[in-house]
Structure 1
Amino acid sequence: MLTVDFDRFPVGPGDRVLDLGCGAGRHAFEVYRRGADIVALDYSFDDVAAVRTMFGAMALEGAAPARTSAGAVRGDAFRLPFADATFDRVIAAEILEHLPADEVAIGELVRVLRPGGLAAVTVPAWLPERVCWGLSTGYHTVEGGHVRIYKRDELVGRLTAAGLELIGGHQAHALHSPYWWLRCLVGVHDDDHPATKLYHRLLVWDMMKRPKLTRWTEQALNPVLGKSVVLYLRRPPAPAVAAAQFTTFEETGRGVG
């Protein structure tokens, strides 16, 4: 399930992309399929190992262009192991809500993004997330859980203060919000409850079949109930250095002295 819309966030051959907080690798795999060079970074050893294995399998199956590179590394979002302006694109999907010092991670994201490069940042939307927190303390008090609920304007403010320009955005996954509300009601860690298993099967069916009715329904509900806020931003290009202007005697008709 992709949260970033790659029609709005184009990647392709020649782009170097960082998936910051890649998790299971859903966005990293799509970037690889599209022919961009991808580095997937996460703090979890297990996630990094699994993503690296999947990259290898995709290469063997010809699921990505032969000249495209893909790697997975363990790293800290507060101190990224890359030089300034390394990447043409940075994706940070559903990571900032987990980080106590989110402004440090945002600063690192901007640092490794080249001037003129694009970033896609997603976090849980305020209303669906607020309902989850109200229904279940276990939803967000687990180790590594969510430490804040963002209002959209608040997130935009933090990103623009760090040096990015907002160029677009939307909400996504409205059909997933009731699923998480249901999980919070019956037990957020209960994967075997009949109600949540039934809803999960519905979501999987929808993702696989993509029927028009559910696609239209989700699009209509996304602005209010979309589970994720997605922002697309740009790091402004470096200002051009003005060429020195010299006035010659011939140009002005005047001498000096």
Structure 2
Amino acid sequence: MLSLLKKLTTATPAPPAAPVADKINSFELGLRDAMLSGWFNHATGELYKGFPVSADDTVLDVGCGDGGNMQFCGNRGARLIVADIDAGKIDAARQRLGETTAQSVECHVTDGNPLPIADNTATRVVSTEVLEHVDDPAQFLAELVRVGQPGALYLLSVPHPSSEELQKDIAAPAYFEHPNHIRIISEDQFKAMVSESGLEIISHSQYGFYWSMWMLLFWDAKVDLTNPDHPLLNHWAETWQAVLNSPRGAQIKEALDGVVAKSQVIIARKPLAD
């Protein structure tokens, strides 16, 4: 999401607002919010709740971006395979993952049609916020299924329709044009896509009210993502931090995530061979 926003906003940034003393870092707060939603659990070794990663795993991330998710997996000592259509992102991922304790790092620049990876390679397959971009989701998922071992776990996510519908009349027009978000995927459509690919769905969850609201304000603020310093964004971060710090902050977050979510996440499994 952040890399897409950067592409859409860095061409004509507005002058930054005057700095706010001791302002909250929106991205650090977003990381805290994500961890409360079940991401990056170092205690349990789960990249996301229900998706454990260990040194015994070969983890493939298709649409890896600069390797943020795989950094966690690398520090678990796993073998890593990353793939992305953007060569610059792969270069950044290679550098980032080279600094982890991963057993190995294999990198591919590819559109995923097909993936240059052998059948039954990975024990863990990750692809987050990609299906809304691709021309043929069924073909893309078929490739993900092909390269996973029998019994492999899959971590898949797409934008939640509640957030996408909010953005439609406010986001930059290119946000919903090729090669960006060319489809809005409902919960039922997402589950059907995954099931029809041959995977068994284990869980379906959603999170990210904080980011949904942040994005709405971001479009109105008209600032550069590399320096999103604007009163709207700063005040929103202050408000959300106060919510999370409140006695029932976790309960309030869960309730709001259930109403307007940035993303929906499916954990699935490739069936064992007969």
| Fold-level similarity (TM above 0.5) | yes
Verify the 8 A CA contact 2:108 2:116 in the aligned structure 1. no
Verify the 8 A CA contact 1:4 1:120 in the aligned structure 2. no
55, 75, 87: which one aligns with 1:13: 55
228, 231, 234: which one aligns with 1:195: 231
1:44–1:126 distance in 2 versus 1, CA, 3 Å: same
80, 83, 94: which one aligns with 1:38: 80
Aligned match of 1:57:
99
| Counterpart-to-counterpart distance in 1, 2:169 and 2:135 | 21
Residue identity in the other structure for 1:162 = S
1:197–1:114 distance in 2 versus 1, CA, 3 Å: same
| Counterpart-to-counterpart distance in 2, 1:130 and 1:115 | 37
Secondary structure, counterpart of 2:99 in structure 1: helix
Q: Does 1:22 align with 2:61?
A: no
Could you state the TM-score of these two structures normalised by the residue count of structure 1?
Answer: 0.79
Residue identity in the other structure for 1:198 = N
Q: Does 1:154 align with 2:196?
A: no
Shift of 1:238: 0.8
Q: Does 1:89 align with 2:131?
A: no
List per-residue Cα deviations over 1:24-82 (Å, max 9, x = no partner): 21111011111211111111111000111112233xxxxx26xx222332122221001
Q: Does 1:125 align with 2:160?
A: yes
Aligned match of 1:169:
204
Secondary structure, counterpart of 1:221 in structure 2: helix
Could you state the TM-score of these two structures normalised by the residue count of structure 2?
Answer: 0.75
Residue identity in the other structure for 1:81 = P
Q: Does 1:136 align with 2:178?
A: no
Secondary structure, counterpart of 1:72 in structure 2: strand
Aligned match of 2:257:
222
| Counterpart-to-counterpart distance in 2, 1:33 and 1:217 | 32
Verify the 8 A CA contact 1:170 1:223 in the aligned structure 2. no
Gap runs ≥5 in structure 1: 59-63, 240-257
Aligned match of 1:116:
151
Residue identity over aligned pairs, in percent, reads 28
| Counterpart-to-counterpart distance in 1, 2:235 and 2:196 | 40
Q: Does 1:72 align with 2:77?
A: no
1:193–1:53 distance in 2 versus 1, CA, 3 Å: closer
Residue identity in the other structure for 2:216 = W
**Which structure 1 residue ranges, 4+ long, deviate > 6 Å from structure 2?**
none
How many aligned residue pairs are there?
Answer: 228
List per-residue Cα deviations over 1:4-39 (Å, max 9, x = no partner): 742410110111110110012111101111121111
RMSD, matched Cα: 2.5
Gap runs ≥5 in structure 2: 1-30, 40-45
Aligned match of 1:252:
none
Shift of 1:201: 5.5
| Counterpart-to-counterpart distance in 2, 1:131 and 1:30 | 31
Verify the 8 A CA contact 1:14 1:36 in the aligned structure 2. yes
Secondary structure, counterpart of 1:224 in structure 2: coil
Shift of 1:211: 4.2
**Equivalences for 1:206-245 in 2 at 5 Å?**
211=245, 214-239=249-274
Verify the 8 A CA contact 1:88 1:113 in the aligned structure 2. yes
Shift of 1:215: 4.1
Secondary structure, counterpart of 2:163 in structure 1: helix
Shift of 1:169: 1.9
Verify the 8 A CA contact 1:4 1:27 in the aligned structure 2. no
| Counterpart-to-counterpart distance in 2, 1:41 and 1:124 | 20
1:196–1:105 distance in 2 versus 1, CA, 3 Å: farther
